[in-house]
Amino acid sequence: MKPSLAQRFVTAFLEGGRWKLYLQGLGTTLELTVVALIFGVLLGLVVAVVRSAHDQQRIGRKNPVLGILNVLCQIYTTVIRGTPMLVQLFIWTFVIFPTQRNKILVAFIGLGVNSGAYVAEIIRGGLMSVDAGQSEAGRSLGLGYFDTMRFIVIPQAFKNILPSLGNEFITLFKDTSLAQAIGGMEMLYYASTIGGRTFDYMPPLLGIAAMYLAIVIIFTWLQGKLERRLRESDRR
């Protein structure tokens, strides 16, 4: 006799305390997302600042070090954005760190480096969206480039990039499932393991799909709230 649908879900989630495994996977997924995002934002910020600093130099005062850094940054964003995420993860795992046993660590690096390239372009767009008069005013007061960025341009750019940054967070959150392919024990890893053990893939896969979706919906709602609050401060 075929088991009923309800029974299949009970088998996939409740039997033997399997729900704990999903939560464990969810924890790893969230950890991967947050660490990779922080790593990506820091990397992206550095790349974005280098690239816009390079573009804004005074003629005749081109800094050669900045020129080299700028070329490196351009190669970085081109290569990362031009190759598939999964291929990059495989390269990190099997080519660059073949002896590393901690696959989550490799996934941190792979996802963070990937995200950094996208975040760099988001931040660069945000920096360019701030009226040139703002940095001119800062510089005309005698503030240096970095002070002008730190106190004047970046705070204003932040508000403009928040929607795209939230989008990047969602993409990254879902892309963490690729870590399963290199043995990272996140949500998809547990779902497919359980699916294999119970000879029934449907309940665990639908289950984690619902979990991904629920978190994305909650995050989108939070982001909307934050944006509304930032907008309110404009109308003070």
Partner 1 sequence: MIDVKNLSKSFGDHLVLDGISQHIYPGEKVVVIGPSGSGKSTFLRCLNLLETPSAGTISFQGTVITDPKVKIDQVRQQMGMVFQHFNLFPNMTIRKNITLAPVRTGLMKQEEADELAGSLLQRVDLTDKADAYPSQLSGGQKQRVAIVRALAMKPQLMLFDEPTSALDPEMVGEVLDVMKELARDGMTMVVVTHEMGFAREVGSRVLFMAGGKVLEEAPPAELFGNPKHPRLKDFLSKVL
Where do contacts with partner 1 occur on this chain (CB under 8 A)?
58-61, 131, 133-134, 136-144, 147, 151-152, 155-156, 234-236
User: Which lies closer to partner 1 via its Cβ, residue 90 or residue 145?
Assistant: 145
CB of 144 to partner 1, least distance (A): 5
79 phi, psi to nearest 5 deg: -65, -45
**H-state helical runs in the chain:** 5-13, 19-55, 64-82, 85-90, 103-129, 132-140, 145-148, 154-175, 187-198, 202-232
CB of 62 to partner 1, least distance (A): 10
User: Which lies closer to partner 1 via its Cβ, residue 15 or residue 147?
Assistant: 147
CB of 57 to partner 1, least distance (A): 10
Q: How far apart are CA 202 and CA 194, in angstroms?
A: 10
The residue with tokens 């003070």 is 236
CB of 228 to partner 1, least distance (A): 17
User: Which lies closer to partner 1 via its Cβ, residue 101 or residue 236?
Assistant: 236
Would you state the structure tokens that stand for residue 127, as one six-digit string? 């920096």
User: Which lies closer to partner 1 via its Cβ, residue 126 or residue 207?
Assistant: 126
Radius of gyration of the chain (CA): 22
